[in-house]
Structure 1
Amino acid sequence: MPKQIKIIIGDLSLKAELFDTETAKKIHKLLPLESMINTWGDEFYFEIPLNMPLDETATTDVNIGDIGYWPPGNALAIFFGPTPISNDDKPVPASEVNLVGRIIDDARVLKGYKKESKIFIKAL
């Protein structure tokens, strides 16, 4: 069963969920997390203290609102629009990510928060 989480950036608070996968469960155990945000197009990513390989959910086919774990950077990635390698409005990660969750609210509002530097993620 998915686990409910909250993502906080600046004055914005978004409801999200982590899926029932091994990688997502390990991420949930790390909560709460606070990190500096890196931006790549309309993607936020940030390193977390977790080292996991690609799993059965690994893909480059992601959608706005998806949350992925990117093994090469030990990072969580939040997709809210096109990235530098997108051909249209759909996000494309730099390489495969494990799909670990999704934002329940409208992730596109994150476009207005690209100047923020910190992200907080906590369990609900």
Structure 2
Amino acid sequence: MAKSKKTPKNTKVKVEDAPNSIGGKYILRLFVTGNLPNSARAIINIKAICEKYLKDAYELEIVDIYQQPLLALTDEIIAIPVLIKKFPLPEERLIGDLSDVEMVLKGLHLTNN
């Protein structure tokens, strides 16, 4: 049985190596409020970032807090829109419309260096 390559939790990885370095997919949850402009931009932005930098190595769940308020309470959501990176650990939260690609990459512990 081959050993899987693990990345220490505080180590940054190159964007192109991200899917292979974690041994699985990024698990992301985006909380939004219906079709409000900020939420719509966040959805468009995170989908574009994931497709460009993570390709098929991610799962993105979009949660409308109007439709699933208990999930927002469970995850202790205090601002909208907010992206939660559930995996790989550590969990990270990014608030806003996710238009600053560099900040999103940093929040996902990805780097272009």
Give your verdict on TM over 0.5: no
Q: Higher strand proportion, which one?
A: 1
TM-score (norm 2): 0.30
TM-score (norm 1): 0.28
Larger radius of gyration: 2
